[in-house]
Amino acid sequence: MKTFIESFVCDDCKKEFPLDTPVTICPSCGGFLELRYNLAEMKRVVKKLVFDDRCRSIWRYRHLLPHVDEANIISLGEGCTPLLRSVHIAKETGISELYFKNDTMMPTGSFKDRGFSLALSYAKQIGVRRAFTYSSGNAGASFAAYSSRSGFPSLVCVEYIANDAKKAMIQLYGARTAILHFDSFDEITEMLKGAAEELKLYQFVNFVNPIRHEAMKTYAYEIFEDLGRAPDVMIHPVGTGGGLWGALKGFNELTELGFTEKRPRMFAVQSEDCAHYKQAFDKGEKEAGRFGDATKTIAQSIACDAPFQKGRRVLKAIYDTGGAAMAVSDEEILEAMRNLAREGIAAEPSAAVSLAAFKQAVHLGLINSGDTVVCVITGSAMKQPNAVEKAAGLPELSLNANVSDLKRLLKETGM
Ligand SMILES: [Zn+2]
């Protein structure tokens, strides 16, 4: 199969690096690397969005992804998740074209599987022999599942604030797990930079690894396939921001290839306890600094007090598309979990932020009644069982095992 990638290019110093080498951040200046495609050649050759219609995973779009030989593909059936149209929230808000991209349905219960399927397959292709990442929990479980299946020895550093269920899942998949202690996310950034420069360690951390977010382009492809058009608004939770950045790259390619003229306005959502993007966006700044306390919020998977590379990619995606940075409270998140559950989706807090932000955006007039809106729901409620208990609405009832008590209960509940 033909590949259209030309080189890695650095966001900051613009230097180029050859393909098929295990580079992570820029060896020259430490900036993030991006894969550059020959889009003109891609447009000339690629005439259809789907490469293989029988394939029900992200690999159905393999001609638009970095090349991996069939034998090196590590897949658990990730991607091709449902795009569910809202029944209740759409009616209540008057936004009739509201959709949920339900990535709770992924093999390990979170959207991270898209990135790890591609990044670990690519690593196998170029001869990487060991796997290392750092995670707030979901990425760790996904990484562990894919690296175990592929036979990579793997080490996951997981944040001390991750809940026990996430840590246990990483260990269940067979990865060595180290609990990572730190005072600020700046320390993690420095550690990862040192690991790349001094230890020459090939890492799978979002953006430090230049391949993972390429897989998030499949959001754009799947949504476009399901809707038959690009949405007007896409709302995505952001920690590092790889999902949002990759999705926009996918929509950019769809426009370059002539499939659509429209790109969605990208809305990035954080917890208000550590909303550095929101703080920068409100001031019109292109870089975000350290802000807030990541240990406070219930939205653990996106809790971060200082973004990598000052969050330049996420802010650029927002500004370039006329989107917004949003911040939501724990109370709004718990309400969004209940509202999503009414739609049939059990989401973890960090995933429910999309719907919480949607409601805010409607209230603020940032979304119009004719807009088609996609809220990305990134992870399953099973990832954070204690949050489910907090969000659960109605109190439990009690019943003795006899018909007369059942009759009483039916009457009491009005059924
Ligand atoms: Zn550079």
**CA of residue 322 to ligand 1 center, whole Å:** 27
Give the pLDDT confidence of 132-158 residue by residue, as tens digits: 899 988 999 999 999 999 998 889 999
Q: What pLDDT does residue 21 have?
A: 78
Predicted TM-score of the model (pTM): 0.95
Least confident of 66-70, 182-186, 233-237: 182-186
Burial of 326 (0-12, 13-18, 19+ CB in 10 A): buried
Closest CA to 392 of 328, 330, 334: 334
% of the chain surpassing 90 pLDDT? 85
The Cα-based distances of 370 to 232, 317, 336, 373, 377 in angstroms read 9, 23, 22, 9, 22
**CA of residue 128 to ligand 1 center, whole Å:** 22
**CA of residue 302 to ligand 1 center, whole Å:** 27
Could you tell me the pLDDT band of residue 85, with boundaries at 50, 70 and 90? very high
Give the pLDDT confidence of 300-311 residue by residue, as tens digits: 999 988 898 999
**CA of residue 29 to ligand 1 center, whole Å:** 4
Could you tell me the pLDDT band of residue 196, with boundaries at 50, 70 and 90? confident
Structure tokens at 167: 């840590």
Amino acid at position 54, single letter: R
**CA of residue 100 to ligand 1 center, whole Å:** 37
**CA of residue 32 to ligand 1 center, whole Å:** 7
Do the Cβ atoms of 177 and 171 come closer than 8 Å? yes
Answer yes or no: is pLDDT of 2 > 70: no
Mean pLDDT of 341-359: 98
**CA of residue 40 to ligand 1 center, whole Å:** 25
**CA of residue 31 to ligand 1 center, whole Å:** 5
Q: What pLDDT does residue 161 have?
A: 86
**CA of residue 5 to ligand 1 center, whole Å:** 18
The Cα-based distances of 162 to 225, 258, 302, 331 in angstroms read 35, 43, 11, 20
Answer yes or no: is pLDDT of 393 > 90: no
DSSP state of 347: B
% of the chain surpassing 70 pLDDT? 100
**CA of residue 125 to ligand 1 center, whole Å:** 24
**CA of residue 7 to ligand 1 center, whole Å:** 13
**CA of residue 20 to ligand 1 center, whole Å:** 18
Q: What pLDDT does residue 200 have?
A: 87
Give the pLDDT confidence of 122-132 residue by residue, as tens digits: 999 999 988 88
Q: What pLDDT does residue 148 have?
A: 94
**CA of residue 206 to ligand 1 center, whole Å:** 17
Answer yes or no: is pLDDT of 34 > 70: yes
Average pLDDT, the chain: 94
**CA of residue 33 to ligand 1 center, whole Å:** 8
The Cα-based distances of 218 to 108, 213, 398 in angstroms read 17, 10, 46
**CA of residue 12 to ligand 1 center, whole Å:** 5
Q: What pLDDT does residue 10 have?
A: 97
**CA of residue 257 to ligand 1 center, whole Å:** 28
Q: Report DSSP letters for 199-254, one per residue.
A: S---B-SBTTBSSGGGGGHHHHHHHHHHHSS--SEEEEE-SS-HHHHHHHHHHHHH
The Cα-based distances of 409 to 182, 230, 401 in angstroms read 51, 49, 11
**CA of residue 28 to ligand 1 center, whole Å:** 5
**CA of residue 25 to ligand 1 center, whole Å:** 8
Structure tokens at 408: 């009483």
Mean pLDDT of 380-388: 93
**CA of residue 404 to ligand 1 center, whole Å:** 75
**CA of residue 260 to ligand 1 center, whole Å:** 32
Query: What does the alpha-carbon distance between residue 325 and residue 340 come to, in Å, rounded to a whole number?
Result: 21
Mean pLDDT of 392-407: 91
Q: What pLDDT does residue 1 have?
A: 61
Could you tell me the pLDDT band of residue 4, with boundaries at 50, 70 and 90? very high
